[in-house]
Amino acid sequence: MDAETQGLLDALVEGLPTARILLLVNYRPEYGHGWGGKTYYSQLRLDPLPPESAEELLHSLLGEDDDLEPLKRLLVKRTEGVPFFLEESVRTLVETGALAGERGGYRLGRPFDTIQVPATVQAILAARIDRLPPEDKTLLQTAAVIGKDVPFAILEAISDTSEETLRHGLGRLLASEFLYETALFPELEYTFKHALTQEVAYGGLLQERRRDLHARIVRAFESLYPGRSVGTLLSGSSPTSGSVRPTTRSASIREPWTTFERTSSSSSATCCRTVTTTCPRCPPSSPGSGWRCA
């Protein structure tokens, strides 16, 4: 995480005791923070599945074919019981022809001793993305620059394809479970199946292409939502203005809004999205007075 985003998150955490907010943050073990000593902080550890539960999941994914047992044992060992890793491993084996059939009824598509399972989920995701048709890979990477949640209007505005082509491409990415459709109203919106999928897709872009897309996103947002009540925060690097840092102010519950503060910082921030509104039960406050209920 870049320093600006970390600072924004730290500021939000510091303001929690005086606001009616429940903040949920999920992160991997290697992430470090300074909240552990706070009395209002609690941590819940999400452990990998134990072997018996991982085997049960694989049973539902693969089926009962006895020839699959060595593969199941290999997958449990390689993935260490991480459900997302298990699911993506199975999908990769299907896409590469190592498994044939349908979900819950697969069989080996080639001898077990010729099957290789990548060592990390990132490697699996990168390989899956590379196997996509070029136009679908480009679309997925473009969506990744917007963030984990992808409003269709912004994606359409920054894409170099027609609406029909864009919708067909999104349909294929939905079928491959890279993306899910999460909202139809008030606006069509998609989300990545997992944050790692978005990160790997984003990481495959050249820096110059990232900067171009970040700049397009800012222009599209300013064009699509001029003066509109919207609670979307987008941040990313721009080749002309360094980074674009989101700043929020208090507003009525009917009129959440966001402004973009251009800074000279050369650091790049990852795209993020949140919705902020003032709780109607909270006392009124002047704009810019701090974090309010979300």
Express each pLDDT in 118-135 by its tens digit. 889 999 999 999 999 999
**Which tokens is 227 given?**
């003066």
Section 167-187 average pLDDT: 93
Contact between residue 152 and residue 190 where contact means Cβ atoms under 8 Å apart: yes
Collapse the DSSP code of 246 into the 3-class scheme (helix H, G, I; strand E, B; otherwise coil) and give the result: strand
Question: In this structure, what token pair is assigned to residue 40?
Answer: 């209002």
Distance CA 142, CA 212 (A): 10
Q: Which of 55-64, 114-123, 247-256, 268-277 is predicted with the least confidence, judged by mean pLDDT?
A: 247-256
pLDDT at residue 286, rounded to an integer: 39
**Predicted pLDDT at 221:** 87
Instruction: Tell me if 292 sits within 8 A of 19, measured CB to CB.
Output: yes
Mean pLDDT of the chain: 79
Local confidence band at 3 (pLDDT 50, 70, 90 cut-offs)? confident
- Name the residue type at position 93: L
State how far the Cα of 15 lies from the Cα of 204, in Å rounded to an integer: 36
Q: Spell out the residues 6+ positions from residue 3 whose beta carbon is closer than 8 angstroms to its own.
A: 267
Q: Is residue 260 pLDDT above 70, yes or no?
A: no
Q: What residues does each domain of the chain span?
A: 51-127, 132-205
Record the pTM: 0.62
Q: Which two tokens stand for residue 197?
A: 């999928």
> How far, in Å, CA of 62 to CA of 266, rounded?
48
Q: Give the separation between CA 141 and CA 200, rounded to whole angstroms.
A: 9
Residue type, 294: A
The CATH fold assigned to 132-205 is Arc Repressor Mutant, subunit A (1.10.10)
Mean pLDDT of 201-229: 87
